[in-house]
Amino acid sequence: MRPISIAFGAAAILALTLLAADIQPINDLPNPYRTVRDWGQLPGGTTAWAAVTAVEASPDGSIYVIHRCHDNSCVGRTEPPILKMDKNGKLIKAWGAGMFNFPHGATVDREGNLWVTDSQFQNNGKGQVAYKFSPDGKVLMTLGKPGVTSADPGLFDEPTDVAVAANGDVFITEGHVGGTPGNQRVSKFSKDGKFLKSWGKPGSGPGEFNNPHTIEIDSRGRVFVGDRSNNRIEIFDQDGKFLEEWRQFGRPSGIFIARDDTMYVADSESWGPDEPGWKKGIRIGSAKDGSVKYFIEDMESTTVEHSGAEGVGVDADGNVYGAVVRRQMLEKHIPKK
């Protein structure tokens, strides 16, 4: 299946619509992994996973797991939503208690620092920010203002995910369930936190968004945005120029792109009315040419509920981790020998 690549403009929108109709569900690809569910050690006193929303591998081999405390929210909770584990799942450190309303997306930059977004306003002086943490949990930077919802430059409304370019520039996607002001955009910052620009608006045309839920950067520096409620990935240069859209990876909730441009896309919401005929799971292919090669089918791939992994991470050994929100678990998919 070739990726869709169309120039900007009114004719492009029509062509995209016509081409999108030709994209058939990709459900029958090989799965070269065996799956372990409820992987990893929980903190003492915790008997079960909460909603796991993100999982990221660090250059030092450790694994960061982000979860939403209890009942899909950290409001008023005392447990830490950020867990740092070694490669065997042993808990090393936990932090972030009392800092978050709704932990959402995360990434680890080239220096090993962890970035986590807080995507919900609760009128409690928290949320609507992206935090940068050192590997031992120290806050190094805060983008946005805690508790402030705004469309103004440098501020956020429902920041969903974060990506960091090779030069340190930071890209934040905004727009989850929608509200006021209802930002649907990407905001770009310098490595020292200076606001540079933003792009995007509500819609379904090229460069427009409806729930930009995840963001990643490939080896060429292109910015991949999982435009979830439009059932597509949009690709931009780092100045926001629209380049392509791809629909062959399903309904994207999470994207991870490895150094060799292998791309892993978590589809947690297909089947049912959202993306009929597409099973939920993790599709694996290439960020270079858009090909899809493998499919890790979710255990509830044909339920109407949004049950699959939302976040996806991959370690240096090729293990694929799925952060599952509704079923409240962390999955590890290990390459078969």
Asked if residue 248 belongs to a domain, the reply is yes
pLDDT at 202: 95
234, 242 contact by CB (below 8 A): yes
Q: How many domains is the chain built from?
A: 1
Query: Model pTM?
Result: 0.93
Nearest in space to 22 (alpha carbons), one of 248, 199, 179: 248
Asked if residue 209 belongs to a domain, the reply is yes
Q: Which residue bears the tokens 């520096």?
A: 221
Write out the residue range of the structural domain in which residue 126 sits.
Answer: 10-335
Asked if residue 298 belongs to a domain, the reply is yes
Token output for 138: 């120290």
Asked if residue 37 belongs to a domain, the reply is yes
Contacts of 190 (CB under 8 A, 6+ apart): 168, 169, 170, 196
Q: Which DSSP string do the residues of 219-275 spell out, in sequence order? A: TT-PEEEEEGGGTEEEEE-TT--EEEEE-TT-S-SEEEE-TT-EEEEEE-S-BTTTB
Q: Which DSSP string do the residues of 39-102 spell out, in sequence order? A: -SPPPTT--S---EEEEEE-TTS-EEEEE-BBTTB-TT--S-SEEEE-TTS-EEEEE-TTT-SS
- Band (71; pLDDT cuts 50, 70, 90): confident
Strands 223-227 and 281-286: unpaired
Asked if residue 199 belongs to a domain, the reply is yes
- pLDDT at 82 > cutoff 70: yes
Q: What is the pLDDT of residues 87-117, one digit of tens each?
A: 999 999 999 999 999 999 999 999 999 999 9
Average pLDDT, the chain: 92
Rounded Cα gap, residues 327 and 202, in angstroms: 30
Nearest in space to 74 (alpha carbons), one of 60, 95, 43: 95
Indicate which CATH number applies to the domain containing 118: 2.120.10.30
Asked if residue 1 belongs to a domain, the reply is no
- The distance from CA 235 to its chain's CA centroid, rounded to whole angstroms, is 15
Asked if residue 295 belongs to a domain, the reply is yes
- pLDDT at 17 > cutoff 70: no
